[in-house]
Amino acid sequence: MPKPKTATGRKFKRPYKRLPKGPNGGVQLLLIHNVENLGKQGDIVEVRSGYALNYLMPQGLATLATDHHARMVEKHREKLREIELERLKSYRDLADELGKQSITIEANANDEGHLYGSVTAHEIVDALKGAGFTLAQDQIRLDGPLKELGLYTVKVHLHGEVDANLKVWVVPTVVTEEA
């Protein structure tokens, strides 16, 4: 059977080999790193081909589930476990530091204490940067935007097994009047 041709008449060359199908019609991959809501390092998972080709494999999070790759992971499993335990310990230490931390965010509010806008994860991340902590916005778990003045306890998701509680004070903006 001849190879298909493009509109210009050149032969079409696939940029990748076809991925082997798993028992459920997806692609079987071996996870190189932990992927939240999918699996842990060394697990064999079955995902849709688009997720495999466009995210997991280009990001270096997974590879094809071959016997060779499975043997390599098994060979290095103890070292990987030690690395994961060290990472988990550092996340727990960071969670303890965040638990002791309290940040203050100034916002415009009316006399009843209702904010004109709201405090979102973006403002909390910026305040934490000022305190010396670097976190991503998706690690801040809010039940909803903070729309009133007061003290809030915000959950910070650091790792699949480690969460921290952060105290956030929302205070009114201080306006100084000059005569």
| pLDDT single digits (tens) 103-116 | 999 988 888 888 88
Q: Which residues contact 39 (CB under 8 A, 6 or more apart)?
A: 31, 45
- Fold of the domain spanning 94-172: Ribosomal Protein L9; domain 2 (3.10.430)
Q: Which residues contact 165 (CB under 8 A, 6 or more apart)?
A: 98, 99, 153, 154, 155, 156
Q: Which residues contact 125 (CB under 8 A, 6 or more apart)?
A: 135, 136, 137, 140
Alpha helices (H) along the chain: 49-51, 67-100, 121-130
From-to residues of CATH 3.10.430.100 in the chain: 94-172
pLDDT of 13 over the 90 cut: no
pLDDT of 20 over the 90 cut: no
pLDDT of 40 over the 70 cut: yes
Helix (H) or strand (E) holding 64, with range, is: strand 62-64
In which band, very low, low, confident or very high, does the pLDDT at 156 lie, cut at 50, 70 and 90? very high
The per-residue pLDDT for 1 is 56
pLDDT of 142 over the 80 cut: yes
Dmax (CA) for the chain in angstroms is 88
CATH number, domain 1-65: 3.40.5.10
From-to residues of CATH 3.40.5.10 in the chain: 1-65
Q: Which residue has the higher pLDDT, 103 or 15?
A: 103
The per-residue pLDDT for 179 is 37
Distance CA 87, CA 13 (A): 42
The per-residue pLDDT for 175 is 61
pLDDT per residue as tens digits for the range 67-98: 887 788 778 777 878 888 898 999 999 999 99
* pTM of model > 0.75: no
Do 4 and 12 form a contact (C-beta atoms < 8 A)? yes
Alpha helices (H) along 19-141: 49-51, 67-100, 121-130
